[in-house]
Structure 1
């Protein structure tokens, strides 16, 4: 792991001045990043292709003496296709509860015994929502477990993608009853509108669901970005013991019209998950206009009402310079060199953000500015929860590999686990792999490695490409993710449950599927890491660790970035 810099308290004043200059230059920038676009999950149809999973699931892993305690396979594309719900990407996400692990994907939902990994339920996403009282869904699901209320919460598109629906379990048992409600996430444009990429977070007052809003262009054509909404729903409206409602909800809408004066509240807004009491919530996002993160507060909240809430002005974080990551590589031998790519998405904060002990923890995927490698890295950032000042940040990665689709969680002890995918061109080690690391939080907010880099699951093929047949050029987008997740076990907070995507075998005879015509298939993997176990890092991990940038080098990068941003004015 490469730490790109560590800031001292004295350096924060210099950074704060740079951030003020950054805010002044940004105020005139009105063009959203072009790659922040509408990307609804896509149904895959390959004529004559059968999704027969005769090969069975990968064997579970049990390593009770290791930081990697156990792992088991989650939902695969074969599962969704068995219901006629064959989507790419999976939108991989899950959460751990009192006794179960629940996973949602585009096409299928499942429940597992969290100790043994045994799957106790598999249903289509449409069937789940029908049982909860809704008609249809369009994917983009997220799931969390609220330990204080002993309830599960699932969010997804409605049958119309401008609508969002919320399901809440009756008890802590995900196999029990569910009730739901639906609301209009993005109004004003009829059926063509989309409340896209809904996020999900909870604190002691509210549930936070952020959306990127899209609607058709006035002259036709593809959907265009119209701004964001942060939906703030008081907990009492959802956990009322009867049926969830959106009573007393607040919708903080930030429109984007491409005009001078349009406000930047970021893209893919993530509420901060927190167990700290108070009347203020925090939202973190990646800027829609420039290469930086930002945050703002939602004031005036109680657990019974958000109607009197208001959003503060944005604070830019002043992250170390970065650009948008390119496509991730893999060591394909079956397709041409220029097709060995996986879309690792972009620098949006795709997974949950957490607060613990006065610090906020987040990750996103970046291409570090100035490293000259043009490789994706998972960047962690630790913020002061009161001031939003950057306490520390670092890039996980090493030369020759792309790192992407990261997720993070932290417990009350300051133990941190980060999960991510890694891939590269090396034939021996370059397959897309699901990886994880554990850390302790230092006194200054720095992360100290505990486990080293752990291989949780390696893909079964070295040339994943969805939507076309084995050996053929990629057809359509090669989206990976669109997200992953780490969650803390509510009954043993030292144990962290990670979920990520890997590539299954091809759906052909060689892959164990006679009758299949050869399409590739994604799979998901659930792993458990005990963050209290300290392991000696492997030598290769030492090679990725710890070098710092001095204050002068950091400011030189920042001056170059400010100059570039000023050119947008």
Structure 2
């Protein structure tokens, strides 16, 4: 999501000006006053640097530059209209089977040199499900809806999808569906029609399969890939990117032939990206016999694709030798970069299941000159697994029959252990895949046997350290299995079943993993058992949960009937699934999974279907911050408040991971001052206010709007001056730890680092001075600054611009250690929300420049009694309501201003109340409404020196009774008294209800 930025009234940079004292007004005008524009909030994202391996990585290889064979475009909405007018195709007599992912020998390739790790060098792990015994529940889902049902055209669906800020896109082997985030269907089109423009010179339209789609939240674009024309000399890989953030619009499409085109064909695409590249890897097979040839990897310049460029790419083609440090083996799953910081892209392969190892490789180099280094390291699990399974009665995983009390004889295929998806998050790598398992765990280097046969499946997951580049065995950071050790499908180890055996337990397959900004993890998968039908489910872990563990599985769409669709005796399922973090808040999760739908045609025809779930999770560190506070005021030591702010673009519901009563605001004495109860909802970008009821003096602020600064919760125990405070996501004192801390604010004098960030804000030298002050997070970027350093983030303001620090408090030190004229501005749950993005400004007279009347008027009349010794500056702007709702309250907060104290050559501006005026524009006379300085002398805080930082102007004509309707505009003016002339800055946030 894009950060909302403040409206710019004047230039940000201060330029030195040479002028005579009596002519300084010229310098004032030289500070060009552009139209209200958004202040840049672009942040440096940094660059990851890969370490050189101890062996020098002399196995690194360069690729070949290539170009797509065909390019095209598609407009989804237009295709949807065309298909709606065409007659619906009749269902085939029997659905077409999309071939199963062909074997690539991954899972049995050559182990690296070196010594395998000993058990004590590897993580301990516990299965997430042990029979019927419940452990810790996964969080429940909220929104859930059907993606696509069985169109009776293909098996299996190859379930995949992605979620953006406004859309949900589901991609299956037969169709693509576009929905809102609540499930309302926008469009549904066929997969083949989406890619039709890439037919080129082929005699027939492309026959597409294996679709996968991702959403790039950093650039608001969608990327989509699939293969076409299986087992054919016309085989190709298709790549598409949306032209905008709307996937129902136009896409740019690219067709890439496989290496050895004509002789080879492409299968099972895997897609990932980082800040520089989009990477697609496919497995090459011969057209003549479908023998595995090797991997084919396409590295696209992401910026080029997003710009609608040529699609030129770098190709790396490997072999089937299985050598540990060669470009070889199948299914190189490229990472999905959720940090957007690294110039390296990593791949994971299921390398040798008997040795219990993966293989990690990397892509580096400049865009267009990429280098691929295979075999950086080989992460080893504590136990081995089996790579694939035989077909037992059609597959592997059991299911119930006509009723859930009867076991059905046919089993559902779980395919193999290839890596399903791979995520880079917070500097580490995460992956998930199916594992075929035995009752007694296999030690690395051992295989199944008649005495210990493979007999169930689990979802295996890893967390890895990308800095390890040792070319041999390494230990994962975490390793776990979502597994029921009691599960048994009665396999005898030789492709048959054990006579008299009864199937038991739960199976898990086709997992996909997602990791949020807090390192919370969700794994979605299909869940099978002999007494249920195939269901859509997931497991979850909070970052604070015990290492190597997941919480209990939770089904979000139970299967509705037995399933028996087969191709060649194989009851096909999968071949994969998709899970992702919610791009709106980077905290919640989405997953789309397959389940067994109800049967039709007098119970003769089984059906698959796919289902979405949104899983909201408990807020984590940094989601809610302490945004403003004071520890005394004019009413004495108990005249204090603590304001909290929801930094995210979605509402947060208070909940705890430990079952305690809520979130506690705690002082450094370890005593909670207040606890926000579970179930309380803090709006997106909204505030929550705690006040000391003994002496809090700001309850009637602002005048005429007295309900927006009253406490949502109160307390009575004073917080000492200069003491630290912290907000924890628990009410249990024993859990007041860094892992459970949302935020902290404390002075340099605070000794306990749990109650401050960084060195702390500067200590107040006169803490007993009962002034009208506050510490608040710098708002110059449009939102509260949060760098993890209280010194850098907080500004000290008071209504007199007082010098209250122990050090560096000069007469004009307008820095974080210095003095700032301004006013406290506590906000509660009912306060207006920043609406910079949806209430835009424009000039009241666009025919004139921003610095010319009537858009800006300089009045030289002195008015010393109203903080205007050198006159005033009146800035007039028009604000248009684009929120799609009635605005019932409108105000403007000063987030940056040149005000007392300032050096010579810099303007000293004071915010003032203004009255309505009628001005002449090029289009005729217009009313320009005055604005009221909300912090006025009629209600605390009194501002005898005029407004400054954190002061607010209200547009009083906008009320519940007289709202600003959607699409309507209001002209307002901001009056600034001038106490010293010079160059200046003046920035505002627009705040509104609802």
Same fold (TM over 0.5): yes
| Equivalent pair of 1:284/1:296 in contact (CA under 8 Å) | yes
**CA apart distance, 1:153:** 0.9
Are residues 1:329 and 2:422 paired? no
Change (3 A) 1:374 1:211: same
**CA apart distance, 1:477:** 2.0
Looking at structure 2, the residues matched to 236 and 431 of structure 1 have their Cα atoms a distance apart, in angstroms, of 45
Looking at structure 2, the residues matched to 292 and 264 of structure 1 have their Cα atoms a distance apart, in angstroms, of 17
The 5-angstrom pairing of residues 157-306 of structure 1 reads: 157-159=227-229, 162-184=235-257, 186-190=258-262, 193-217=264-288, 222-240=289-307, 243-247=308-312, 249-256=313-320, 263=326, 265-274=328-337, 275-287=339-351, 291-301=356-366, 305-306=367-368
The aligned counterpart of 1:393 is 479
Are residues 1:122 and 2:155 paired? no
Change (3 A) 1:422 1:536: farther
**CA apart distance, 1:345:** 0.8
Looking at structure 2, the residues matched to 501 and 261 of structure 1 have their Cα atoms a distance apart, in angstroms, of 35
Are residues 1:105 and 2:162 paired? no
Gaps of 5+ in 2: 1-53, 55-89, 97-137, 390-395, 442-451, 469-473, 487-504, 619-654, 660-994
Correspondence for 1:317 among 369, 374, 379: 379
Are residues 1:521 and 2:607 paired? yes
Q: What secondary structure does 1:487 align onto?
A: strand
The aligned counterpart of 1:47 is 93
Looking at structure 1, the residues matched to 520 and 537 of structure 2 have their Cα atoms a distance apart, in angstroms, of 17
Change (3 A) 1:457 1:325: farther
The aligned counterpart of 1:23 is none
The aligned counterpart of 1:3 is none
| Equivalent pair of 1:87/1:106 in contact (CA under 8 Å) | yes
Change (3 A) 1:158 1:425: closer
Looking at structure 1, the residues matched to 459 and 353 of structure 2 have their Cα atoms a distance apart, in angstroms, of 21
**CA apart distance, 1:421:** 1.1
**CA apart distance, 1:485:** 0.6
Q: What secondary structure does 1:175 align onto?
A: coil
| Equivalent pair of 1:94/1:103 in contact (CA under 8 Å) | yes
Are residues 1:531 and 2:617 paired? yes
Looking at structure 2, the residues matched to 124 and 475 of structure 1 have their Cα atoms a distance apart, in angstroms, of 25
Looking at structure 2, the residues matched to 395 and 199 of structure 1 have their Cα atoms a distance apart, in angstroms, of 23
The aligned counterpart of 2:456 is 375
The aligned counterpart of 1:139 is 209
Looking at structure 2, the residues matched to 314 and 235 of structure 1 have their Cα atoms a distance apart, in angstroms, of 25
Looking at structure 1, the residues matched to 361 and 324 of structure 2 have their Cα atoms a distance apart, in angstroms, of 18
The aligned counterpart of 1:364 is 433
| Equivalent pair of 1:363/1:408 in contact (CA under 8 Å) | yes
Correspondence for 2:563 among 428, 451, 464: 464
Looking at structure 2, the residues matched to 340 and 362 of structure 1 have their Cα atoms a distance apart, in angstroms, of 30
| Equivalent pair of 1:250/1:309 in contact (CA under 8 Å) | no
Q: What secondary structure does 2:194 align onto?
A: helix
Change (3 A) 1:157 1:414: same
| Equivalent pair of 1:256/1:262 in contact (CA under 8 Å) | no
**CA apart distance, 1:124:** 0.6
Change (3 A) 1:164 1:189: closer
Correspondence for 1:455 among 551, 555, 559: 555
Looking at structure 1, the residues matched to 95 and 155 of structure 2 have their Cα atoms a distance apart, in angstroms, of 15
The 5-angstrom pairing of residues 345-364 of structure 1 reads: 345-350=415-420, 352-364=421-433
Gaps of 5+ in 1: 1-19, 21-43, 51-64, 468-473, 511-517, 538-569
Q: What secondary structure does 2:606 align onto?
A: coil
| Higher mean C-alpha displacement, 524-533 vs 309-318 | 309-318
Change (3 A) 1:100 1:230: same
Q: What secondary structure does 2:571 align onto?
A: coil
The aligned counterpart of 2:123 is none
Looking at structure 1, the residues matched to 570 and 177 of structure 2 have their Cα atoms a distance apart, in angstroms, of 26
| Equivalent pair of 1:325/1:374 in contact (CA under 8 Å) | no
**CA apart distance, 1:447:** 5.0
Looking at structure 2, the residues matched to 353 and 75 of structure 1 have their Cα atoms a distance apart, in angstroms, of 25
How many residues in Structure 1 have an aligned counterpart in Structure 2? 441
Looking at structure 1, the residues matched to 241 and 95 of structure 2 have their Cα atoms a distance apart, in angstroms, of 36
| Equivalent pair of 2:243/2:306 in contact (CA under 8 Å) | no
Change (3 A) 1:337 1:117: closer
The 5-angstrom pairing of residues 485-500 of structure 1 reads: 485-500=578-593
Change (3 A) 1:189 1:322: same
Alpha-carbon displacement from aligned partner over 1:276-299 (angstroms, at most 9, x marks no partner): 423321111111685521101112
Which protein, 1 or 2, shows the higher relative CO under an 8 Å CA cutoff with sep ≥ 6?
A: 1
| Equivalent pair of 2:353/2:387 in contact (CA under 8 Å) | no
Give the TM-score normalised by the residue count of structure 1: 0.71
**CA apart distance, 1:91:** 0.7
**CA apart distance, 1:339:** 4.1
Looking at structure 2, the residues matched to 482 and 118 of structure 1 have their Cα atoms a distance apart, in angstroms, of 26
Change (3 A) 1:368 1:143: same
The 5-angstrom pairing of residues 142-153 of structure 1 reads: 142-153=212-223
Looking at structure 1, the residues matched to 267 and 350 of structure 2 have their Cα atoms a distance apart, in angstroms, of 16
Change (3 A) 1:95 1:238: same
| Equivalent pair of 2:334/2:347 in contact (CA under 8 Å) | yes
Looking at structure 2, the residues matched to 49 and 256 of structure 1 have their Cα atoms a distance apart, in angstroms, of 33
Correspondence for 1:418 among 523, 527, 546: 523
The aligned counterpart of 2:150 is 77
Change (3 A) 1:501 1:314: same
Change (3 A) 1:401 1:234: same
Q: What secondary structure does 2:247 align onto?
A: coil
| Equivalent pair of 1:102/1:112 in contact (CA under 8 Å) | yes
Q: What secondary structure does 1:503 align onto?
A: strand
Looking at structure 2, the residues matched to 238 and 264 of structure 1 have their Cα atoms a distance apart, in angstroms, of 26
Alpha-carbon displacement from aligned partner over 1:179-214 (angstroms, at most 9, x marks no partner): 211111x22251x52211001111111111111110
**CA apart distance, 1:340:** 1.9
Change (3 A) 1:328 1:338: same
Q: What secondary structure does 1:460 align onto?
A: coil
| Equivalent pair of 1:264/1:288 in contact (CA under 8 Å) | no
Looking at structure 2, the residues matched to 348 and 491 of structure 1 have their Cα atoms a distance apart, in angstroms, of 31
Are residues 1:480 and 2:573 paired? yes
Looking at structure 2, the residues matched to 103 and 233 of structure 1 have their Cα atoms a distance apart, in angstroms, of 23
Are residues 1:405 and 2:510 paired? yes
Alpha-carbon displacement from aligned partner over 1:5-59 (angstroms, at most 9, x marks no partner): xxxxxxxxxxxxxxx9xxxxxxxxxxxxxxxxxxxxxxx9863899xxxxxxxxx
Q: RMSD of the TM alignment (CA)? A: 3.1
**CA apart distance, 1:269:** 1.1
**CA apart distance, 1:314:** 4.3
Looking at structure 2, the residues matched to 536 and 342 of structure 1 have their Cα atoms a distance apart, in angstroms, of 38
**CA apart distance, 1:536:** 7.8
Q: What secondary structure does 1:526 align onto?
A: strand
Change (3 A) 1:296 1:77: same
Q: What secondary structure does 1:149 align onto?
A: coil
| Equivalent pair of 2:401/2:408 in contact (CA under 8 Å) | no
Looking at structure 2, the residues matched to 434 and 101 of structure 1 have their Cα atoms a distance apart, in angstroms, of 18
The aligned counterpart of 1:441 is 543
Change (3 A) 1:288 1:307: farther
Alpha-carbon displacement from aligned partner over 1:316-359 (angstroms, at most 9, x marks no partner): 11123111354111122599978421110111012x21111222
**CA apart distance, 1:76:** 1.6
Looking at structure 2, the residues matched to 419 and 289 of structure 1 have their Cα atoms a distance apart, in angstroms, of 22
